[in-house]
Amino acid sequence: MPYAKPFAPHYTAIVVGARCAGAATAMLLARQGARVLMIDRDRRGTDTLSTHALMRGAVMQLSSWGLLDKVIDAGTPAIRKTSFIYGDEAVDLDIQPSHGVDALYAPRRYVLDSILADAAEAAGVDTRFEMSLRGLLTGADGRVRGAVIDTGDGETVPVSADIVIGADGKQSSVARFAGAEVQRRAQHATAVVYGYFDGIPDHGNRWYFTPGYAAGAIPTNNGQTCVFVSMPRLTYLEQIRGRLEAGLRGLADDVFPDLAARLAPAKLDRRPIGFVGHHGHLRRAAGPGWALVGDAGYFKDQSTAHGITDALRDAEILARAVASGPSGLARYQETRDALSRGMFDVTERIASLDWSMDEVKRLHFRLNKVMKDEQDWMAASFAAEPRAA
Ligand SMILES: Cc1cc2nc3c(=O)[nH]c(=O)nc-3n(C[C@H](O)[C@H](O)[C@H](O)COP(=O)(O)OP(=O)(O)OC[C@H]3O[C@@H](n4cnc5c(N)ncnc54)[C@H](O)[C@@H]3O)c2cc1C
């Protein structure tokens, strides 16, 4: 019975979506003293469509929120090495300590999202799974004043709030109901097939590139390695869909011999997951009484593995913006856009899969610079304590 407990008469914020963007935003708002309701139509603790490599910015956020230890305690291995394999050439890099982070992590989404949702609940967020957003409540002045919630028990309930935050993913209903226009749309979208393998020795993150394809091996929970191969949509539709394991192994055999050798003795745990791809977008981030965070406002192709990292960054920018009063949301929009443009552009080029080996190396240098600038900005901007909501 999801609706066993009635809602409060009014909330500071309703957050729609309880995964990395929503749970982080709700937790931070509640820690600032706000009264927050968070809903998600999924069941608690479930997995979702996503690989889950965290970049340094995400690890910085989890650490500063006091949650990195929980990720480690859940058996998520520390990743201390990254290798870029360009055809026959391997570039091995140790993860250098910086901004208090000396390792990367790739927690399964059911691990990470649960830790964040539990932390939100511990901070006082009224958390309800298996409930869906049905609409927004709008005042005569056009301002959003709450949400209509399907409680999952056959009831539809209007709930009042100062702000409704859409953390409801790339197909965001909040964005649709609020009329958030798309400011930029990506031209390229890669398809991907990924699965979890037992028996691959942990050599850190390994990223593979050859014109037309990319792949990766990411150590994760339960001693498993998440292995993916990315390809143009047409290749996926014509050759891979419907034969995912054979397709994943076959592509590795054909284009990534080092990965194929690692996969040969490894055992696949369950059926792989295929994704046909989705074009990135940058939507308007906020308006009167509403805001978007995570993929709802800003989605980019998975080829730069940066969606979770950006979601955790923007959760903090948005929570601080909400606390700082009416001008805060305009600043959230400006800051999110300024921090996201470089990543959006470089992701667009990498996601084309239409580069030479020299060009993709240059793109990785550019990606690295964008990430470093973002981390420096976060370290400087999040150092001060947030104000109360
Ligand atoms: C194949 C793939 C691989 C990826 N790999 C990586 C990677 O390695 N590293 C990385 O950083 N990022 C990766 N990403 C991107 C990453 O998955 C997203 O950026 C991230 O999931 C965004 O989190 P979110 O909280 O914004 O949205 P989501 O994780 O999509 O969560 C949205 C939530 O909103 C809920 N919801 C939706 N509509 C409603 C509604 N009407 N009412 C109530 N609840 C609702 C959903 O149930 C869901 O739980 C990948 C993405 C894909 C598709």
Residues 201 and 327 in one domain: no
Split into its structural domains, the chain has a count of 2
Residues 176 and 197 in one domain: no
Residues 237 and 321 in one domain: no
CA–CA distance, 10 with 13 (Å, rounded to integer):
9
Domain with 238 in it:
191-275
The two beta strands, 81-86 and 205-210, are: parallel
Q: What are phi and psi of 346, to 5 degrees?
A: -70, -35
- Does any domain span residue 300? yes
Does 305 contact ligand 1 (Cβ within 6 A)? yes
pLDDT in tens, 12-24: 999 999 999 999 9
Q: Select from 250, 275, 300 the last residue of a domain.
A: 275
- Does any domain span residue 89? no
Decide: 370 and 346 in contact? Cβ < 8 Å: yes
Name residue 381's beta-bridge partners. Answer: none
- Does any domain span residue 98? no
Q: Is the pLDDT of residue 1 over 60?
A: no
- Does any domain span residue 213? yes
Q: Which atom of ligand 1 is nearest to the CA of 21?
A: 25
Q: Which residue has the higher pLDDT, 217 or 327?
A: 217
Residues 176 and 122 in one domain: yes
Of all protein residues, the one whose alpha carbon is nearest to atom 16 of ligand 1 is 307
pLDDT tier for residue 385 given thresholds of 50, 70 and 90:
confident
In angstroms, what is the span from residue 160 Cα to ligand 1's centroid? Answer: 26
Answering whether pTM is above 0.75, one says yes
- The mean pLDDT of 335-344, rounded to a whole number, is 97
| DSSP H or E stretch at residue 274 | strand 267-275
pLDDT in tens, 116-147: 999 999 999 999 999 999 999 999 999 999 99
- Does any domain span residue 177? yes
In angstroms, what is the span from residue 19 Cα to ligand 1's centroid? Answer: 7
Of all protein residues, the one whose alpha carbon is nearest to atom 52 of ligand 1 is 50
CATH of residue 252: 3.30.9.40
pLDDT in tens, 152-190: 998 999 999 999 999 999 999 999 999 999 999 999 999
Q: Environment class of residue 267 by beta-carbon count within 10 Å: exposed (0-12), middle (13-18) or buried (19+)?
A: exposed
Q: What angle do CA 380, 383, 388 make, to 5 degrees?
A: 130
CA–CA distance, 275 with 259 (Å, rounded to integer):
20
- Does any domain span residue 28? yes
**What is the spatial order of strands in the sheet that 213-219 belongs to?**
89-94, 81-86, 205-210, 213-219, 225-231, 191-198, 267-275
pLDDT in tens, 77-104: 999 999 999 999 999 999 999 999 999 9
Structure token digits, residue 254: 């054909």
pLDDT in tens, 224-264: 999 999 999 999 999 999 999 999 999 999 999 999 999 99
Does 107 contact ligand 1 (Cβ within 6 A)? no
The two beta strands, 182-185 and 281-283, are: antiparallel
Q: Is the pLDDT of residue 320 over 60?
A: yes
The CB density around residue 47, as the number of other CB atoms within 10 Å, is: 13
Using most ligand atoms within 8 A of CB, pick from 19, 59, 136, 336 the residue to mutate for ligand 1.
Answer: 19
